[in-house]
Amino acid sequence: MPRSLGFVFFFTIVLLLVGSVHYWIWARLVRDLALPPGWQRALGALVVLLGLSVPLTFYLSRALDPGSARPLLLVLFAWLGIMFWLVVLLGGAELIRVAAWIWERTRGQVEPAFAAERRTLLARALGGAVVLVAGGFTAFGARSALGRVQVKRVEIPLKRLPRALDGFSIVQLSDVHVGPTIGRDFIEEIVATCNALEADVVAITGDLVDGPVSKLSDAVAPLAELRSRQGAFFVTGNHEYYSGAEAWCRHLSELGLRVLRNEHVTL
């Protein structure tokens, strides 16, 4: 299959999936709540716009300058987070609803006259709760991702470790994802934190960047100031391959990082 045809096929599948997810969200949070017609039209239009924003987010994250586009992309990525939690929470609610329906049918229960009103009331209460919880989870995740650098200390006991290496320290950095939402200021904070730890080794274990060298070289420039006794090492993750692994390996080597590619070193 030609590469261009494969891309069209993949993009079509993604659009169908995104469209289906947003239709389901609309059905559960708009249609099933029996809202007034005006509210249904307004919320329906909003869901359509949010659905269109998903492919737009991935396009803009590559096409625009990360610094100038960051406020817009933060909003778009926030919707991706909310959408994820809506799918998870609505999926759980759907399982409960189906189980309750099966339970009623197996017991041969007859719905009372007010059952329709009760279902609408429950659907509205559940829909409101799902939206609030999804928004809360997304806000918590954004706060964690965009907050200050956190240091988690892990002590690993090794029985055969030579006494001379007791206390040998490794700082591991992973999944930083410099790009649309993470910029130079965050990298400067990471470097300052790492240097203050006075580690023996710094290991960057992939997914450092989300974008090409041409757009992010300034953002990662502070990595040249990383200091440790045995050096700073880097291995690629899948996002480096999305962003041009060869170019990134060359650039990070120029910054003084030891790039390991299918190899190891003895310290």
Q: pLDDT tens, 45-97?
A: 999 999 888 887 777 777 767 666 777 778 888 898 999 999 999 999 888 87
Q: What is the pLDDT of residue 1?
A: 55
Which of 146, 181, 201 corresponds to the end of one domain? 146
Q: What is the pLDDT of residue 173?
A: 94
Structurally, the chain folds into a number of domains equal to: 2
Q: What is the pLDDT of residue 101?
A: 75
Q: Are residues 131 and 227 in the same domain?
A: no
Q: What is the pLDDT of residue 221?
A: 96
Among residues of the chain, what percentage have pLDDT more than 90? 45
Q: What is the mean pLDDT of residues 16-29?
A: 91
Q: Are residues 104 and 77 in the same domain?
A: yes
Q: Are residues 90 and 217 in the same domain?
A: no
DSSP 113: T
Given a cut of 70, is residue 113 above it in pLDDT?
no
Q: What is the pLDDT of residue 111?
A: 57
Q: How confident is the model at residue 148 (pLDDT cuts 50, 70, 90)?
A: confident
The residue type at 241: Y
CA 143 and chain centroid, separation: 13
Which residue range is the domain that position 65 belongs to?
3-146
Q: What is the pLDDT of residue 108?
A: 67
- What DSSP line would sit under 146-206, residue for residue? HS-----------TT--GGGTT--EEEE----BSSS--HHHHHHHHHHHHHHT-SEEEEES
pTM, two decimal places:
0.72
Q: pLDDT tens, 153-180?
A: 999 888 888 888 888 999 999 999 998 8
- The answer to whether residue 124 sits within a structural domain is yes
Q: pLDDT tens, 215-226?
A: 899 999 999 999
Which of 146, 181, 197 corresponds to the end of one domain? 146
- The answer to whether residue 96 sits within a structural domain is yes
Q: What is the pLDDT of residue 109?
A: 60
- Residues composing the chain: 267
Q: Look at residues 33, 147, 128 and name the one whose alpha carbon lies nearest to residue 86.
A: 128
Q: What is the pLDDT of residue 2?
A: 65
Q: Are residues 128 and 57 in the same domain?
A: yes
Q: Are residues 77 and 116 in the same domain?
A: yes
Given a cut of 90, is residue 202 above it in pLDDT?
yes
Q: How confident is the model at residue 259 (pLDDT cuts 50, 70, 90)?
A: very high
Q: How confident is the model at residue 190 (pLDDT cuts 50, 70, 90)?
A: very high
Q: What is the pLDDT of residue 201?
A: 96
- The answer to whether residue 152 sits within a structural domain is no
Share the mean pLDDT of the chain: 87
Query: What gap in Å lies between CA 39 and CA 43, rounded to an integer?
Result: 6
Q: Are residues 114 and 173 in the same domain?
A: no
Which of 146, 174, 190 corresponds to the end of one domain? 146
Q: Are residues 119 and 231 in the same domain?
A: no
Q: Are residues 130 and 253 in the same domain?
A: no
Given a cut of 90, is residue 196 above it in pLDDT?
yes
Q: What is the mean pLDDT of residues 20-37?
A: 90
Query: What gap in Å lies between CA 11 and CA 5, rounded to an integer?
Result: 10
Q: Are residues 26 and 76 in the same domain?
A: yes
Given a cut of 60, is residue 110 above it in pLDDT?
no
Q: What is the mean pLDDT of residues 176-201?
A: 92
Q: How confident is the model at residue 3 (pLDDT cuts 50, 70, 90)?
A: low
Q: Are residues 64 and 175 in the same domain?
A: no
- The answer to whether residue 157 sits within a structural domain is no
Q: Residue 206: which CATH number?
A: 3.60.21.40
Q: What is the pLDDT of residue 242?
A: 87
Given a cut of 90, is residue 34 above it in pLDDT?
no
- The answer to whether residue 265 sits within a structural domain is no
Q: Are residues 105 and 214 in the same domain?
A: no
CA 98 and chain centroid, separation: 30
Q: Are residues 127 and 17 in the same domain?
A: yes
- The answer to whether residue 127 sits within a structural domain is yes
- The answer to whether residue 151 sits within a structural domain is no
- The answer to whether residue 154 sits within a structural domain is no
